[in-house]
Chains A and B, each alone.
Chain A
Amino acid sequence: MAARLKPGQGPLDYGSRLWLRLLFAAIFFVLYAPIITLVAFSFNTDKRGVVWRGFTLDNYARAWNNASLIEALTNSLVIAVIATVFATVLGALTALLMWRFRFPLKGAYEGFMALPIVIPEICMGVALLLFFVNSGMMEFFVHMPWPLNLGNIIFAHVTFCFPFVAVVVRSRLVGFNRQLEEASKDLGASEWQTFWSIIVPFMKPGLIAGALLAFTLSLDDFVITFFTSGPETVTFPVKVYSLVRRGVSPEINAASTVLIVITVVATVLAMKLQAPPRADKG
């Protein structure tokens, strides 16, 4: 007699099997335990942050009052915002170029454009540093007043962020029904009106997702920033690194938790907006 399946044992009911659930739990534990520890210890009363002594919000207050930490965080946010704006515009235009036009060596261009995504960060860092030094840009920007002294870092961040925006926006544009554009022109709209009232609204979820991606990438970048920042400027990840070398303090935990929250919120938003649209192909 053929074996009979019980409810929950169907071929697609993997989720209800115990061993699989345990495996999931183990994987999630390994992935998230360090982060949870970091967040938990940001509320710890113990000065050296190794043993749990009690709950407090003092660490947040102290991080807030640490002028150099706040300065680094401000730098990071300013860089991230400016770099995001530039990367989004540049990335969107690149995506449009690739979607809309045919030109010689398009394939090669597309490949080179995506290079910053795959190239090791350390190489990008060194390359950009050499470029800034040899072109005189390093010298030029470093002595500028704040926030212009962040110019080199912003430049570097735009360089590695815009391909991500381009990829996201490009994949959104693939779903665009070209007849919408033709309908718009047929109804009397010029090329420019069609772009702003039909194409841009269609790209919007891609633009927002790309921008948030660029923002998070820029905010927590360490390697490239480390290479391209001048001796005076410090960003948050670089500052944290220099503090950690002198021992982990709960203050850093607190500041890092804030950064994690910002990053997670931005990523969740980006993923939400990148979700494939339902039946809105027109």
Chain B
Amino acid sequence: MSDAIVSIRNVTKAFPGGVTAVDNVSLDIAQNEFFALLGPSGCGKTTLRRMISGLETPTSGQIVIGGEDMAFTPPNKRPTNMVFQSYAVFPHMTVEQNVGYGLKVTGVATDEIRRRVGEALDMVKLTALAARKPDQMSGGQRQRVALARALVKRPKVLLLDEPLSALDAKLRDDMRMELTRLQETVGITFIIVTHDQDEALSMASRIAVMDKGAVQQVATPAELYEHPRSRFVADFIGKVNLIDARVHRQIGRKIDCELKGVGRMELASDGLVGGQVAVAVRPEKLKIAIAEPASAIRVQGRVRDVAYYGDTSHVVIEAADGLDLSVNVQNDTRLGGSGVERGQTVWVHWAPEDSIVLTE
């Protein structure tokens, strides 16, 4: 990508003691992008974040920010700013002083500091609280201070560490919309670092899924969800039924395979197929029928569990060969509910094109 604002090239970070936290990662993050680094704890996303902001140096590789290799540039000389998970708002300063701090230490004139702090506070709607100390504020307000404090520096890249994790459910929704709005207004590249797939899926325009120090897949949220490239990605993003399958032969762009507990069928697959693959199907793509359906893929089973979530019910169906299938049923009528009960024998069916063949 030619307009990349952050370009991570073959970056490896090995800590003394033999832990390789980040293993030969290459990533391009474009200007104005809302990018997410997503992965389970210990996947290396935090180390990568610290290397982008300069709090850690890579063992090898380049970190190009705005066209300049900054792998060994100290954090105070980088055009990146960070919103910490704990917010890290300075407790002995007022909101105004917190927001102005980054300008003051770099020698910006007092008048300009006042003007820019005013603008930043306006942007995050904290003007009324400018004289407060952090201990008189709620978590959500403190996060806004941290946000204003970073944005006032006009960085090229804003890093956000688990921005929604410490907020309660209602505030989460507000903040998510707020962040999306801010990103569109200020036109700065946002990089969020998170282990929470909802956070990444709902905000980011592109997501890099990381595991064991390596990037597993970089794609848009919809692509990650509907076209995961590996079992890890399919399993980590959303819920999924992973069914083991044995491949008999390849017919053009299709494979002839035997799904454990389901039966033999032909499925679309591009990759070179080995003997064993996994077939992934999302729970909401599965349908339940009482009478035998006409669908090409169908399997009979017994309802083992029904969990009611209000808008949906999560049904677990026990099929042959120890295969458990999770089905999400929309409770789309008030009186119908999920329409099945525990112990009932039902049919589960789905369209062949909703199956994802995973080779790795």
Contacts and interface: CB of A to CB of B under 8 A. Distances in A.
Contacts of B153: 187-188
Contacts, number: 81
Contact of A177 (B81, B86, B101, B150): B86
A197 B89 CA distance: 13
B90 A282 contact: yes
A179 B85 CA distance: 9
A197 B75 contact: no
B88 interface: yes
B190 interface: no
Interface of B: 53-55, 74-77, 80-82, 84-92, 101-102, 105-106, 133-135, 146, 149-150, 153
Given A187-B153, A188-B102, A189-B105, A201 B76 contact: no
14 contacts: A179-B86, A180-B90, A182-B75, A183-B90, A184-B90, A185-B54, A188-B77, A188-B105, A188-B106, A189-B101, A190-B76, A202-B91, A281-B91, A282-B90
B76 A180 contact: no
A13 interface: no
Contacts of B88: 177, 179-180, 182-183, 282
A179 B84 contact: yes
A193 interface: yes
Determine the interface band of chain A, counting residues with CB < 8 A from chain B: 20 to 34
B76 A188 contact: yes
Nearest to A204: B92
B105 A187 contact: yes
B81 A186 contact: yes
A182 to B, nearest CB: 6
Most buried by B among A182, A187, A281, A282: A187
Contact of A282 (B89, B105, B106): B89
Contacts of B53: 186
A201 B92 contact: yes
Given A201-B92, A282-B89, A183 B105 contact: no
Given A183-B146, A188-B77, A197-B101, 18 more contacts: A179-B85, A180-B90, A180-B91, A182-B82, A183-B84, A183-B88, A183-B90, A184-B105, A186-B76, A187-B76, A188-B76, A188-B102, A188-B106, A190-B76, A193-B105, A202-B92, A278-B135, A282-B88
B55 A282 contact: no
A280 interface: yes
A26 B85 CA distance: 53
Given A193-B105, A282-B134, A186 B82 contact: yes
B102 A182 contact: no
